[in-house]
């Protein structure tokens, strides 16, 4: 629990939320400023700022909730699809520093964009550069 974290306050019950799913480790609730009807956030109950800070069990629990909840969210608002994503870090647009997955219902012709739209200008990478990056990521 982090004292000045808005999502920890929701977990503690100090800030009200429209909870749609809860287990011992995970809670999901409607986003207060939804990008679409049904926009839902899935968070671990324990405070972790970034995805890399999550223990494996907790990461699994969060993703399990995302997978079970996404179809339910879509059905509830009669959506055609959904975008599921996390902003990991301030430069990626993360405003609340407590890991949360967004489930954003999408509707045919809603004027939105795919997740590919989140990045800046596309890089033009050579095969060597791609090999180098892959090697740096791989253990
Ligand atoms: P981020 O930019 O960090 O990925 O997204 C944070 C999300 O949390 C935003 O979509 C914002 O609307 C939502 N949010 C911020 N404060 C609250 C709150 O107090 N209650 C709820 N339900 N959502 C919040
Ligand atoms: Zn927190």
pLDDT, tens only, 111-132: 999 999 999 999 999 999 999 9
Check residue 3 and give its pLDDT. Answer: 79
Distance 102 CA to ligand 1 centre (A): 9
Q: Is 42 helix (H, G, I), strand (E, B) or coil?
A: strand
Question: Ligand 1 pocket, 15 CB below 6 A?
Answer: yes
Task: Write the CA distances from 81 to 16, 39, 62, 71, integer angstroms.
Answer: 28, 12, 20, 9
Residue with tokens 């012709």: 109
Burial class (CB in 10 A: 0-12, 13-18, 19+), 44: buried
Question: Ligand 1 pocket, 103 CB below 6 A?
Answer: no
Distance 49 CA to ligand 2 centre (A): 7
Burial class (CB in 10 A: 0-12, 13-18, 19+), 46: middle
Check residue 126 and give its pLDDT. Answer: 98
Cα 1 to Cα 65: distance, rounded to the nearest angstrom: 21
Q: Per DSSP, what are the bridge partners of residue 15?
A: none
Question: Ligand 1 pocket, 6 CB below 6 A?
Answer: yes
Q: pLDDT tens for residues 3-27? A: 799 999 999 999 999 999 999 999 9
Domains with residue ranges and CATH for the chain: 6-137 (3.30.428.10)
Check residue 139 and give its pLDDT. Answer: 78
Check residue 2 and give its pLDDT. Answer: 79
Q: pLDDT tens for residues 25-65? A: 999 999 999 999 999 999 999 999 999 999 999 999 999 99
What's the pLDDT band for 1 if we cut at 50, 70, 90?
Answer: confident
């Amino acid at each position: 629990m982090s004292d000045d974290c808005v999502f920890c306050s929701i977990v503690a019950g100090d800030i009200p939320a429209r909870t749609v799913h809860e287990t011992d480790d995970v809670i999901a609730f409607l986003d207060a400023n939804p990008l679409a009807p049904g926009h839902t956030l899935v968070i671990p109950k324990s405070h972790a700022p970034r995805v890399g800070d999550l223990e494996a069990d907790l990461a699994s629990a969060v993703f399990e909730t995302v997978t079970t909840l996404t179809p339910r969210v879509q059905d509830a608002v009669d959506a055609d699809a959904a975008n599921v994503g996390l902003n990991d870090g301030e430069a990626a647009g993360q405003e609340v520093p407590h890991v949360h997955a967004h489930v954003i219902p999408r509707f045919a012709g809603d004027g939105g964009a795919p997740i590919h739209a989140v990045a800046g200008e596309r890089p033009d990478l050579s095969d060597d550069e791609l090999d180098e990056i892959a090697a740096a990521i791989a253990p």
